[in-house]
C-alpha cells in the first residue's frame, strides 16, 4: 500500500458531458489522483462509453440512481496501488435509490464519496435533507467507534459559515445556507469531524466550489463552497495538502484535491 494517498472529489454534473468536453482527461492528466470520487454522474455503467468503464489504470465503480439521468456517484481507484479493494453503497437507515453514498473500503481506511440532497424541491425534500445529514453522522460515528478510519468527501450542498459564500447576507435562510442545515454541519464538527480546508485555512476567503451558470458568476467568483473533505480529528495531522481547483472547467463545480499520509 502507498505511504501517501491523493484523493480528488468532483461533482461533474453529468459524467458523459464532462468527458465529451475533454475536461475529465485534462483533470486526470494534471492531477493524477489515486482515488477519484465523482458525484452527479447522471448515468449507470451500462450507459457509459467503454473508456469510462474499462481502464488499465483504474478500477471503476458506479452507483447509479434508479431514475435515469439523475444524481449518482462513482469511485475510481488505481488498481496497482492497493491489493485489497471493496466497494459498498448506502448506509443503515436510508434507502439509497438515488445513488448518493458510495464507499471504498481499503485496509484500515474507509472513504466515502457522497452526493448530499439539495432539499429544495419540496418541504418533504427539505426535511429529507436534514434527516440525511443526521443519519450520515450517526453512521460515520458508528464506524469510528468500531475502530475504522474514515474520510468522507463530496457535494454537501451547504455552505457552513459566512466565509464560505460570496454573498452571505443575500442568501441567509436560503436552501444551501439555511441555519438548520448549517447547524447539522456544526454537529459534525462538534463530534470531531474536521473540515480539512477550513481547519487548514481558517481565514482564507473567496474560495468556492460551485458557481451558478448565470450572470458570469464564475468569472466574477460569486460562488459557494459546498464541496468538502472531512477527516477525524485524530487523522487531521496526517493531511499533507488540500486545494480547490477553481481553474478546472467542465462542470459548475470544481474538483477538490486532498493528499494524506497513510
Catalytic (active-site) positions: 155
Phi, psi of 121 (to 5 degrees): -80, -35
**CA distance linking residue 159 with residue 176, whole number of Å:** 6
Is residue 156 within 8 A of residue 256, CB to CB? The reply is no
Phi, psi of 183 (to 5 degrees): -65, -35
Q: How long is the chain?
A: 262
DSSP assignment of 61-96 equals EEE--SSTTS--EEEEEEGGG-S--EEEE-BTTB--
Amino acid at each position: 500500500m502507498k505511504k501517501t494517498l491523493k484523493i480528488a472529489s468532483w461533482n461533474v454534473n453529468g459524467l458523459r458531458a464532462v468527458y465529451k468536453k475533454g475536461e475529465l482527461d485534462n483533470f486526470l492528466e494534471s492531477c493524477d489522483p489515486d482515488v477519484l470520487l465523482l458525484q452527479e454522474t447522471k448515468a449507470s455503467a451500462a450507459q457509459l462509453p467503454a473508456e469510462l468503464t474499462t481502464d488499465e489504470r483504474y478500477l471503476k465503480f458506479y452507483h447509479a440512481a434508479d431514475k435515469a439521468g439523475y444524481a449518482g456517484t462513482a469511485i475510481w481507484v488505481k488498481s496497482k496501488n492497493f491489493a485489497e479493494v471493496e466497494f459498498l453503497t448506502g448506509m443503515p437507515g436510508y434507502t439509497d435509490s438515488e445513488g448518493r453514498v458510495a464507499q471504498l473500503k481499503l485496509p484500515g481506511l474507509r472513504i466515502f464519496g457522497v452526493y448530499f440532497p439539495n432539499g429544495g424541491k419540496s418541504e418533504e425534500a427539505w426535511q429529507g435533507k436534514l434527516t440525511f445529514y443526521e443519519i450520515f453522522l450517526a453512521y460515520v460515528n458508528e464506524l469510528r467507534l468500531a475502530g475504522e478510519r474514515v474520510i468522507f468527501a463530496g457535494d454537501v450542498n451547504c455552505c457552513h459559515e459566512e466565509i464560505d459564500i460570496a454573498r452571505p447576507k443575500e442568501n441567509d435562510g436560503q436552501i444551501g445556507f439555511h441555519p438548520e442545515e448549517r447547524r447539522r454541519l456544526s454537529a459534525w464538527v462538534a463530534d470531531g469531524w474536521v473540515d480539512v480546508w477550513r481547519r487548514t485555512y481558517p481565514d482564507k476567503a473567496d474560495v468556492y466550489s460551485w458557481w451558478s451558470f448565470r450572470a458570469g458568476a464564475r468569472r466574477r467568483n460569486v460562488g459557494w463552497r459546498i464541496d468538502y473533505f472531512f477527516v477525524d480529528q485524530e487523522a487531521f495531522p496526517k493531511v499533507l495538502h488540500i486545494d480547490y481547483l477553481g481553474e478546472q472547467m467542465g462542470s459548475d463545480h470544481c474538483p477538490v484535491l486532498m493528499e494524506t499520509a497513510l
